[in-house]
Chain A
Amino acid sequence: MKWFKRVKEGILTSTQEKKEIPDGLWWQCPSCKEKVTSKELQANLGVCPKCGHHDRIGSQEYFELLFDDGQFQELNANMSSADPLHFIDTKAYPDRLVAAQKSTKLRDAVRTAQGKIGGHGAVVACMDFDFIGGSMGSVVGEKISRGIDCAIKNRLGMIIISKSGGARMMEAAFSLMQMAKTSAKLALLAEAKLPYISVLTDPTTGGVTASYAMLGDVNLAEPNALIGFAGPRVIKETIKKDLPAGFQRSEFLLEHGLVDVIVERAALKPTISNLLCMMKVTKKKKREAKEETAQA
């Protein structure tokens, strides 16, 4: 679902650029089957007004939701995937990329931006599921890594909104190593004593779960999001049993100690802003971090 006009790379955008949705478009909730107008859904941040089902939204919508006045500076907006392995399955990888770029108007499966959230400086990396299932390839790894670099350099909080089916197979081991790369950068962020808030949204699985998505100082999750390492189908085939209701959903992860808070989309910004305030680096900590950097 595209509600907003995508903005050109690297320029400031604002909520005024929102595309007007014509009247008379309807959306049926996949959960409660109720029909609401697309306008109503948009006004409710992509959450079903009847049952609270959180529909998938994209990076643009999250940026506008989180950043103060919808103002942000996009980082490394011009980066796109190469095809290092000349990968061909039923389709050549470059053709898949072009098709995905055309249909989504995105360059790849993540966008990163710098701005303020409730007055607190932050870098937000947000994945787009529409782009080849939000799969993590070199671009996703590199943009997140550079986003973390930017947070360290400017002493900002880091927020990653995950939404991914896992690794991008067409980049094979290059994709795998993005897990190591992003996790290593998060280690540096932690050493700099800067906060990292991970936001898990539907779905977050595979290599993304086994790297940055699970490494937040605080892990937030949207309600009823599918979150796991192995996909439910694979698990079912392995154990040859039906999976219990609610398995691998946000509430299940909360019960098993893997998620800190389940946050409704409407409460996402105040929650993050509040956390950034509490996890702000004090002068003493800042000094220690500086000394450590100086020693290194």
Chain B
Amino acid sequence: MAEYVLDFEKDIVVLEAQIAKMKEKEGADDNEAIAREIAGMEKRLDKIRAEVYANLSGWQKVQVSRHPDRPYTLDYIEHIFTDFIELHGDRLGFDDKAIVGGWAKLDGQPVMLIGHQKGKNTKTRQYRNFGMANPEGYRKALRLMKMAEKFDRPVITMIDTPGAYPGLEAEERGQGEAIARNLREMAVLKVPIVCVVIGEGASGGALGIGVGDRVLMMENTWYSVISPESCSSILWRNWDNKEIAAEALNLTADKMLANGLIDGIIKEPLGGAHADHEKTYKLVKAELKRHIKELKDIEPDQLVMLRIDKFSHMGHFQEG
């Protein structure tokens, strides 16, 4: 059985385990009856998955977005791109492990890749600081974006962070300044920028690499100004209202799109990105290629104008 089980995925995981067992048996016996039984079980599995995933609440999508079996930035890089050369350091004394980046090719086309990176086990989670970047992560990201601009290559960013790191040294070294500078510089970067929320998109820590011509969210991710848990603790003064907070924040991909705050949604395979990595990579790759193709012939000045115009129109207010 999988190590990490979401409460609403219990039936799925149990059935998956049964199928795996049957397959072992099938391998040993080579029995047609067993093969038929497996086919039936797989059909049932798809049906349960479809049912569960058709009705995920905001909070459940937050849980899916945090599933440790989802692909992380380096997984996408490995399986979608070729010739990746990771580039390290902010040239100011640090190399943040929570943000990775470097040159790579997307079907032969050079691009600059930048993304938050989480770890897969206790040791690497700590090494990656749980995907919470320090100022030097944002400064490294900006250095790489400027390099992409210099060589006229598109930038792809992958967002997956529970927030910028709220630490003492992070404050000393200007966490706010580092994020703010990225927002300003990304707004006027003269090459196409495509951003994808691949997991968690928490607040300024996400936006710090999230100002793009296309901002996309994968189907089961979230993006907002605060996590539902923190929102609950601040507005309700307890941790028990996270489900309500998740709904109130409208933080899912469909709601963010409906509110005009993102440009598109990347579908995930049935049962979420963690259920089928290969299919996920295919879906993400196709979308990245499509958007970069759409953007690559726009004149740089026009591109910048359109980008600023897009963000300038975000907001709801009344006059008079």
Contacts and interface: CB of A to CB of B under 8 A. Distances in A.
Give the interface size bracket for B toward A. 35 or more
A174 B315 contact: yes
A30 to B, nearest CB: 24
A184 B211 contact: yes
A139 B251 CA distance: 20
Contacts of B316: 81-84, 138, 171, 174
B292 interface: no
Contacts of B207: 176-177, 179-180
A231 to B, nearest CB: 8
A162 to B, nearest CB: 11
Contact of A229 (B176, B211, B225): B176
Contacts of B259: 84-85, 173-174
Contact of B166 (A207, A229, A244): A229
B41 interface: no
B191 interface: no
A85 B184 contact: no
Nearest to A77: B319
B170 A230 contact: yes
Contacts of A174: 259, 261, 314-316
B157 to A, nearest CB: 13
Contacts of B301: 295-296
B183 to A, nearest CB: 4
Give the interface size bracket for A toward B. 35 or more
B183 A184 contact: yes
A213 interface: yes
Contacts of B308: 184-185, 187-188
A26 interface: no
A229 B184 contact: no
User: Closest 7 A-B residue pairs measured CB to CB?
Assistant: A230-B166, A138-B315, A209-B176, A184-B187, A183-B183, A229-B176, A84-B316
Interface of B: 164-168, 170-177, 179-181, 183-185, 187-188, 203-204, 207-208, 210-211, 223-226, 231, 234-236, 241, 245, 248-251, 256, 259, 261, 301, 305, 307-308, 311-312, 314-320
Given A171-B225, A180-B314, A247-B168, 4 more contacts: A174-B259, A183-B187, A230-B175, A235-B166
